[in-house]
Amino acid sequence: MASLSREELFQILEERITDPPRAHEIDGDVWARCGADRAIFVSDLSGFTRLTKKHGILHFLAVFRRANTLFTPILERHHGRCVKHEADNHIYVFARASDAIAAAREIVAATRALDDSLGEDERVYPCIGVGYGRVLELTDDVFGDEVNIAFKLGEDVATRREILISDAAFAQLDQEGTSVDTEAREEEIGHVMMRYHAVR
């Protein structure tokens, strides 16, 4: 379980900066305290620019509120821990990649189920990215390569109600004995050629 806050980590990094010979020792201590293998769930909401231009920021915030009310119990039911909400993102960590993906699929299904009762500009369209790997899990943040990949997939690549998972998350599913029907894709993301998988 996470034992450091973001602010506490930054204070430790100040020691690392001012005492370079201790960098290796400090790094080892931080990883021992906060290192964990985690699935990273990042959701973004499609439509911010269009809806804000058309209806104003309060309208979009109401859509985000609807999303939050819908997403939170699903994510918690699948054993996710909320790291933070950032703008219209939900950032959660899971011990198992399969739980993160099960939550993502349920969220997509739940948003579709609302469509008949909502107008187009009130609907919730999540774009979801899932990564898996060794991360620094803090009480109020999370850092690591797979965190960055999950953000890129959820914010920059995924389209409405699309679930994209990193190659590492896909490999982890096999380790967990779970099979998910996906389509393999590859493209340059952040100037790096990246392989990922779209959940069907």
- 124-160 pLDDT, tens digit per residue, is 999 999 999 999 999 999 999 999 999 999 999 999 9
On whether residue 14 sits in a domain, the answer given is: no
* pLDDT value, residue 55: 94
Number of independent structural domains in the chain? 1
- 16-44 pLDDT, tens digit per residue, is 999 999 999 999 999 999 999 999 999 99
φ/ψ of 104, rounded to 5, equals -60, -45
Domain that includes residue 92, residue range: 35-199
Average pLDDT value over all residues in the chain: 95
Does residue 1 register a pLDDT over 70?
Answer: no
On whether residue 8 sits in a domain, the answer given is: no
Mean pLDDT to the nearest integer, 88-97: 96
- 108-127 pLDDT, tens digit per residue, is 999 999 999 999 999 999 99
On whether residue 28 sits in a domain, the answer given is: no
Q: Rounded to whole angstroms, how far apart are CA atoms 100 and 4?
A: 23
On whether residue 80 sits in a domain, the answer given is: yes
- 167-186 pLDDT, tens digit per residue, is 999 999 999 999 999 999 99
Residues 6 or more apart whose Cβ sits within 8 Å of residue 22: 15, 16
On whether residue 26 sits in a domain, the answer given is: no
Task: Give the CATH number for residue 67.
Answer: 3.30.70.1230
pTM above 0.75, yes or no: yes
